[in-house]
Amino acid sequence: MRIIGIDPGLNATGFGVIERNKSGSKLITAGVIRTSSKDLIQDRLSKIYSGIDGIIREQKPQILVLEEVFSHYKHPSTAICLGYARGIICLVSGQAGIPIKSYAAKRVKKAITGRGDAQKHQVQRMVQHLLNIKEEKMPFDLSDALALALAYTYLDKIESGRK
């Protein structure tokens, strides 16, 4: 099964595609779509749309995994910007006919590291270990996206076992 994990953001949207089979998970491709705060909002959203659309067309994932929106009362504009990017990603997924699964950040951290309060660098190290990635420098947007895809491989088994 081919899974794409996406860590949505208006400045940086991380994506990671993995292939899951009986022998484990394999990294297919990953990266970050960056936009500039100097650009108009419609241009930034268009760049995210085009980037994710191209990846989906090329990689043909069976499921798209997104992080659930988290907002803090002190920073409501962050949630709004995240919502813009997330909406564009949902639109691309809907147009491609790909189902979406969403997980809270704590649930992803627990699935990957065993601890829901794990730090970003701990999640990153575990993602690198699980996918045999030797790179020292990996943006958190990218490792978070890969963590989402990997979390799906673990959590889907648990959830489908309950049904």
156 is catalytic: no
- What share of the chain has pLDDT > 70, as a percent? 92
Which residue in the list 7, 43, 53, 117 is annotated as catalytic? Answer: 7
pLDDT score for 71: 61
Quote the CA–CA distance of 35 and 14 in Å, as a whole number: 12
The region of weakest confidence among 6-15, 116-125, 132-141, 151-160 is 151-160
pLDDT score for 153: 94
Which residue in the list 67, 68, 144, 156 is annotated as catalytic? Answer: 67
Which residue in the list 141, 144, 156, 159 is annotated as catalytic? Answer: 141
Confidence tier at 157 by pLDDT (50, 70, 90): low
Q: pLDDT (tens digit, 9 = 90+) per residue, 90-99?
A: 999 999 999 9
pLDDT score for 73: 61
141 is catalytic: yes
7 is catalytic: yes
- What share of the chain has pLDDT > 90, as a percent? 79
pLDDT score for 161: 60
Of 155 and 13, more confident: 13
